[in-house]
Structure 1
């Protein structure tokens, strides 16, 4: 019975040949562009740390926690851009908006190669943060617009894994550039990293401009027929599409549990990623009390962390889809992982094998990115699109606002190699995540029961969801596949 249900999960029996063909096209054109875009997003983001440990620190005379300050400046720009970026998608088609942002951050990445002091990078990284803020939250909004609840987790996982791949390959790329181009045309290897990363961003932007399909209601992609576009619209609940620039919308956002529940969830969960997002293993190796590492080792060994994150992300995204969207499972897994890894590092600070093992294990926490944003998309599937867009953007904005100072207080480079305060902070945030996951699960379950009781969602004899949407301007009764 389990084998049959798993087969049906991989290839749902109720999906028609036409629907499977549509999903294959969506996977190719949406995921290929979004994953390449996010890969470059993370590659451009992680190259700062790679450059820092590959000669930039010495060439630009970094002092104290200036690296963390530059990261914070980037985060400030990233935070400021979150909500405007997702709101812009109501007025500017994603096919236009995403490529423009890519061209901006790719150009600024190349400009980073001309930096002569840390302050130059602070100014440049602020504007890179503004441009890159469109990618993560914008893609999750688009994925939630196209895919059903049964499909969303896996796609969110693939997308998130592509960003981790950018982090992982950044180390290998820097190693190759440092060994082959260091000193070429009078430029250090770390400067070539910025130049090359910026150049390869541009053709991906062109690909998105030519072939990205926008959203179901605004799609005009040449590779989708009229019947396929109609099918895409019918697969997801029909919801009101109204301008978010109105007081009633702001009131709805601030009085819904969605905004508070998911923003707090991601603020906490974002800090459970701190071991990995702040590249603590690389900083530990740079200041190791037991041995000295080569430039190649400093760049290559930490790539194991995002590699673990990729596997974990894909595993839990698929698992939670299989279990019918039980995304909260990941919250409880992180609760255990965060406490255990921090405790191991505190207990065995001079054991290289345990330190490496704990940091690699901590990479599994990256699984929360895909699953928690998929959870938010799932729960708000019956709400107007811009409410979903604002909540998703606010989640990432809140998390980055916290991380802007959290990383300096607990994970500053001057605290390497042990980060003792950071270990205790990880234990505290992991406990908080376990508690808040339970609270949010209670609210989501209560809301689902209310929808069923109100007749908004009910099952018919054909095993479909029947969704009735009430709106001040119209009432719609539609069928959607479960």
Structure 2
């Protein structure tokens, strides 16, 4: 396919009845399952904020700097383990490997209820990051392995919507747990929060193998004819698939890693994605920002953060559906979302009236959550021709670098800057504008020099 064409002809290829039936079956297995799994993943990594609100800091003697370190060490463990985990994934069965990871991180999440000192909390948060690191890049790789180029944006949006809803209602659920069983059996509510959510994750892990699929050429949940169709439709888009024609053994781990890190296109995508995920740290501060707008009381503050995520869904879903009808426009749509996000951040830095700033927050969140699935699907389809293991490593690097960016993003909204938060909104405006420029450049450069398979 000529990358310089303005229209991706694959979009307009009519699906046969067999292919339509296959896609519906794959969707039925994969999408609800990974949605639920990501919901638990998101809650387990972010429930530290709800534990803090329920009295964890006071009970274990954790100060504000210690809390910040607890957030950061998770990201460090996460970044360290992502690439090795996807190396294993490319040669393992996803239907077993992902639930295995869930058992590990769910166990660690539950054991966090036992911490008694800040040092113990830091150690458990680091371990949680290591154990959970393989999940998100695994899902990115699986979606890139099952769906054609014009089908991926809305699937990534479906996956990420679990995080949006977890962000919207996670605080309310956590409040219900901590308030209802606080002190039961002499255990504090914040400890029960870790226990309940961690044990629930482990329980779901034992159900997941019945629904998760392996790779198109190897999954046992499809008939031989369905596997043939699944592989053929990916080949039509030039997308390689693990287990296809013995290809899985063609490249060593080391060679796949070298192929990935030596490709300049990967680092351009990393730079763009870091600007998006660096701004994801805003979700840690939404309750603080909403409270600063004049809303009082923990319950009211929790409820007033919900519209921020609802608006994000209302904007992101139709945008991603449209992106799948015009795949070549994904980087330009991401650029548009990021530039608009930069504009609203700049307005927030200069306008402090309650109502306008609340509206700006809604659209800043919308820009970030819309750009994320567009960026992921663009990275996935751009790498479609790479060897599966090289693509798995590359996607893990993109995701890992993005998560690394949350470390500096977390520094930008200190309490002393309230209520204006000029440094935070100003920096976010610059980051989002930079990200828009990166994806605009990628649109031009990748059309002239796309990713190519290497052996």
TM-score (ref. length: structure 1): 0.84
Of stretches 158-167 and 137-146 in structure 1, the one that deviates more from structure 2 is 158-167
Kindly report which structure 2 residues correspond to 1:252-331, keeping only aligned pairs within 5 A, or say none: 252-276=259-283, 279-285=284-290, 288=292, 291=294, 293-331=296-334
Partner of 2:66: 66
Q: Which residue of 2 aligns with 1:445?
A: 447
Residue 109 (structure 2) aligns with: 109
SS of equivalent to 2:85: helix
Name the structure 2 match of 1:227.
225
- 2: CA distance, partners of 1:101 / 1:124: 16
C-alpha distance in structure 1 between counterparts of 2:255 and 2:156, whole Å? 30
| Structure-1 residue corresponding to 2:43 | 43
The question of whether the paired residues in 2 share the 8 Å contact of 1:339 and 1:430 is answered with: yes
Q: Deviations over 1:193-242 (max 9, x none)?
A: 21211122123211222332211122122xx2111111111110264434
Once residues 25 and 414 of structure 1 are traced to their aligned partners in structure 2, the CA distance between those partners, rounded to angstroms, is: 52
The unaligned stretches of length 5 or more in structure 1 are 1-8, 452-469, 473-482
C-alpha distance in structure 1 between counterparts of 2:195 and 2:78, whole Å? 21
Distance 1:271 1:447 in 2: 28
Q: Which whole-Å deviations, capped at 9, do the CAs of 1:281-337 have from their partners, x for residues lacking one?
A: 212356x3x757222223332233333333333222112112234211333223333
1:168 and 2:162 are equivalent in the alignment:
no
Return closer, same or farther for 1:42/1:251 CA change in 2, 3 Å cut-off.
Answer: closer
Is the 1:216–1:232 Cα contact (8 Å) retained in structure 2?
yes
Question: How far, CA to CA, are the matches of 1:416 and 1:204 in structure 2?
Answer: 40
Q: Residues of 2 paired with 1:360 and 1:72: CA distance?
A: 26
Larger radius of gyration: 1
For residues 136 and 264 of structure 2, what CA distance do their matches in structure 1 show?
A: 22
Q: Counterpart of 1:458?
A: none
| Cα distance in 2, alignment partners of residues 53 and 305 from structure 1 | 20
**TM-score normalised to structure 2 length:** 0.88
Partner residue, 2:121: 121
**Equivalent pairs, count:** 436
Measured in 1, the distance between the counterparts of 2:136 and 2:419 equals 31
CA distance in 2, matches of 1:53, 1:298: 12
RMSD: 2.5
Residues 165/429 of structure 1: CA separation in 2 closer, same or farther (3 Å cut):
same
| 1:316-395 superposed matches below 5 A | 316-349=319-352, 351-364=353-366, 365-395=368-398
Distance in 2 (alpha carbons) for counterparts of 1:417 and 1:300: 20
Deviation at 1:165, TM superposition (A): 1.7
Partner of 1:133: 133
